[in-house]
A and B are shown apart, each in its own frame.
Chain A
Amino acid sequence: MIYEAVDSALKDAQLEPKDIDAILIGNMDHFEGINFSEMWTGVEAAPGYLKPVMKVATGGTTGSSLGICGYHYVASGIYKNVLVVGWEKLNEGGATTGIITAFDPVWERPSLAGALGPLALMASMYQAKYGATSEHAAMVTVKNRSNAANNPFAHLQMPNITVDYVLSSQVISYPLRLHDCCPQSEGACAMIYANEEEAKKITDTPAWFQAVETAHYYTYGTDDKMYDLPTATIASKKAYKKAGIENPIRDLDVAEIYEPTSWSELAWTEALGFAEPGKGPVLLEEGITQMSGELPVNPSGGVLSTNPIGATALVRFAEAAIQVMGRGEKRQVPDVEKALGMGFGGSLWTEIAIFGKEPLR
């Protein structure tokens, strides 16, 4: 599976394995029960033999932490290129079993552990504060899963999904219903980064990193109010400043955000500055984040459609880059100059990358 992604990326860039300087692997090794998974995958599934291989693992943000690490590998001048690979094979392990162990064994595991518990609490608090409804959340799922029908790589493709279908699905953890939640997926995503000189040899239409930003947060999620995502605001503001974005709705052309639940997209599009606090539902009601809207969000179908954890946030970066390169085919947003990719994970962490058609000078 990992080799498939690596091989496709190499062919896409018309590079040979020997051309790659360094390998970065992203994977949550607790989930599949393989310790030091990069020592195996880096040389068996990627061309890492006699080359540098390193693993970055930060939970949901693994893919974006990896994606950002790759940026530093090349921007530092140490390597001319790097192959960045995120993967997860969740049916061979247990995502929830794994994620529960991220939480403090004494204070948090009995009350607020796993992924969906805290996300349900966040949704519930957001709902209580701003009065968003389950219908609003369902509109997110309908948008993203129908977008996924245009993405040949997506896991859940539901072109005919309706709000009623989402609302009639089983409650998982109030207010989250089955179709408010991301699936568990298997898959791998590989990206090749190159410096300016090398990039020119590979493609005429590279996507350039214009900003990478990370904001972390308290060890205990409940040390803060949970209805919003302050780290998304902190990281995106810094990234917008670097990339010269004053008004994200106007200056960004597409966003691939990390929405583990439908409710997350409502709240976190606000945190990213796409809407005022509490006005996330308006983005959907007015069609702003639809494929035909002013700022399409998740043309790929997002995390609600596909969630191979160690790859998920890297897929956000990859899909944002694909949009900038104009290679999104049926999911392509016209005339993309700037795109945002977002990772979410850990104890309410956010990572942001802004891609553009031109490098920042």
Chain B
Amino acid sequence: MDKVAIVGVAQTKYEKDKIEQTYLELVFEVVNKLYNQLGISNDDVGSVITSSNDFNDGRTIANMAIQDAVGSVRKSESRVSGDGAFAFIYGAMRILSESYNTVMVVSHSKCSEGDQYLINNSIFDPFYQRALGLDQVSTAGLMANMYMTKYGITQTQAAQVVVKNRKNALNNPYAHLQEDITVDEVLDSPMVAYPLKELDLPPFSDGAVAMLLTNEEMAKKFTDNPIWFKGYGSCTDNYYLGNRHLTNLIGLEGAAKQAYQMAGISDPINQIDVAEIYDAFSTHELMGYEALGFCDLGKGGQFMESGATQMDGSIPVNPSGGVLSSNPTMANGLIRVAEIALQLMGKAGKRQIPNAKIGLANGMNGICSQGNIVLIFGGE
């Protein structure tokens, strides 16, 4: 399915508190960067898909505020309420339906302006669950505890994920937390939601990401090395945590199977050169390895120890530093796509994986990988 290409990406630096910029200015920054990089103007963009979340932006119809910034006056913009990787697939569909030749996809979050506990607590059932104090942190603790207990995953194995990703982030000029930390530092950090400690969890970040998609004919006009959309799958798990397995990410597994089928991938470890996965907390990345078929169920910890997902391993995961290093929530999935595009373009600078030809990115909506999307890209 070599019909949709990514021809350029732009990101802001992800930071704790971009107090000098409104969220529409964050969006304008990445749109402007993308335009300058590709030498294009509003007229070259057929349609725009944005991703954002009203609760996070503190405004309903949150995309209203960014119309001027994305240059959608007199043309079509639509907004996916949720993770940016879903905005990517909607943008790709607009090209596949032959409705537009070019689509710009943009996502942003400015987490510093909201109370993240209240925002995430509002995802839960108002009568039975909100009062329990559930949010994405406490549920991550529940999930981590069940997963680690069932499969004998150790806190050290979990800490290795954090060490890897924060260290990788040192090579990524856009990353928020760039830290050369040790396993002991992770293990000694204050307990937040047992068994997850402060350093097992991501920061909250401000930032935005944009990219331009084109059809096959247009791609060569913009770049010599377009990145091609090869595979897609999406799968949704149960809403109520009590109805979920919590020890394995069956939604992510379902999405991966569909994406692999579309992209003709039967042996992910050998066929995929680099992966940017949604690591919402340390053990979540381990569960991701399993769901994506990189290792067997329950073997995520051992797979981490094997070094396979390190920068020089057989399948480097999150060379960018992942969500554990930069977490502008709604943008996370689209950042994963952008980072894979940079890897396959050979433009990832110090975080470049040599000769990366096939890459995987995934996004997530809701709590503990309820809504999942997996995307496969290729450089040729």
Contacts and interface: CB of A to CB of B under 8 A. Distances in A.
Given A48-B236, A215-B74, A216-B72, A99 B60 contact: yes
A30 B68 contact: no
A22 interface: yes
Nearest to A235: B76
A231 interface: yes
A54 B120 CA distance: 18
Given A35-B55, A35-B120, A56-B80, A219 B24 contact: yes
A31 B55 CA distance: 11
Interface string A33-62: 111101110111000111111111111000
A26 B66 CA distance: 20
B122 A34 contact: yes
Interface stretch (B86-94, B281-289, B316-324): B86-94
Could you say which of A43, A71, A99 has the most chain B C-beta atoms within 10 Å of its C-beta? Answer: A43
Contacts of A103: 59, 64
Interface stretch (A74-82, A126-134, A156-164): A74-82
B77 interface: yes
Interface in B237-264: 237-239, 250-251, 254
Could you say which of B58, B66, B74, B367 has the most chain A C-beta atoms within 10 Å of its C-beta? Answer: B74
A213 B81 CA distance: 20
Which applies to chain B's interface (DSSP): helix, strand, loop or mixed?
Answer: mixed
Contact of A50 (B94, B97, B237, B366): B237
Contacts of B66: 219
B90 A346 contact: no
Contacts of B54: 28-30, 57, 101
Interface residues of A, number: 59
A36 B119 CA distance: 10
A192 interface: no
A50 B119 contact: no
Contact of A216 (B69, B76, B119): B76
A150 interface: no
Contact of A214 (B63, B78, B98): B78
A173 interface: no
B258 to A, nearest CB: 9
Given A56-B79, A72-B99, A234-B74, A50 B254 contact: yes
- Interface size grouping (class) on chain B: 35 or more
A217 interface: yes
B96 A77 contact: yes
Contacts of A77: 96-97
Contact of B67 (A35, A42, A49, A218): A218
Could you say which of B86, B237, B366 has the most chain A C-beta atoms within 10 Å of its C-beta? Answer: B366
Given A72-B97, A78-B93, A345 B61 contact: yes
A58 B73 contact: no
B191 interface: no
B93 A65 contact: no
Given A33-B126, A72-B94, A58 B79 contact: yes
Interface in A261-299: none
B365 interface: yes
A51 B236 CA distance: 5
A166 to B, nearest CB: 29
Nearest to A109: B59
Contacts of A71: 97
B26 to A, nearest CB: 14
A216 B60 contact: no
A102 interface: yes
A55 B82 contact: yes
Could you say which of A54, A69, A345 has the most chain B C-beta atoms within 10 Å of its C-beta? Answer: A54
Given A39-B123, A40-B125, A56 B371 contact: no
B76 A213 contact: yes
A72 B67 contact: no
A347 B97 contact: no
Contacts of B69: 219
Contact of A102 (B55, B64, B75, B80): B64
A214 B76 contact: yes
A215 B370 CA distance: 33
A198 to B, nearest CB: 16
Contacts of B86: 54
Contact of B99 (A53, A58, A75): A75
Given A30-B60, A71-B97, A58 B126 contact: no
A37 to B, nearest CB: 9
A257 interface: no
Nearest to B95: A76
A142 B76 CA distance: 34
A33 B86 CA distance: 22
Interface string B40-74: 00000001000001110011110111111100111
A309 to B, nearest CB: 10
B147 interface: no
A30 B63 contact: no
Interface string B216-240: 0000000000000000101111110
Contacts of B78: 56, 58, 65, 68-69, 214
A114 B60 CA distance: 11
Interface string A198-221: 000000000000001111111100
A53 B251 CA distance: 11
Nearest to A40: B239
Could you say which of A29, A56, A216, A218 has the most chain B C-beta atoms within 10 Å of its C-beta? Answer: A216
A33 B67 contact: no
Given A42-B371, A68-B78, A75-B98, 13 more contacts: A36-B123, A48-B236, A52-B236, A53-B236, A58-B78, A65-B79, A72-B97, A103-B64, A214-B47, A214-B77, A217-B67, A217-B74, A219-B64
14 contacts: A28-B54, A36-B53, A38-B81, A39-B123, A43-B238, A52-B235, A52-B373, A55-B80, A59-B61, A76-B94, A78-B96, A216-B75, A216-B76, A347-B67
Interface of A: 22-23, 28-31, 33-36, 38-40, 42-44, 48-59, 65, 68-69, 71-73, 75-78, 98-99, 101-105, 212-219, 230-231, 234, 345-347
Interface of B: 24, 47, 53-55, 58-61, 63-69, 72-82, 86, 90, 92-94, 96-99, 119-120, 122-123, 125-126, 232, 234-239, 250-251, 254, 365-367, 370-371, 373
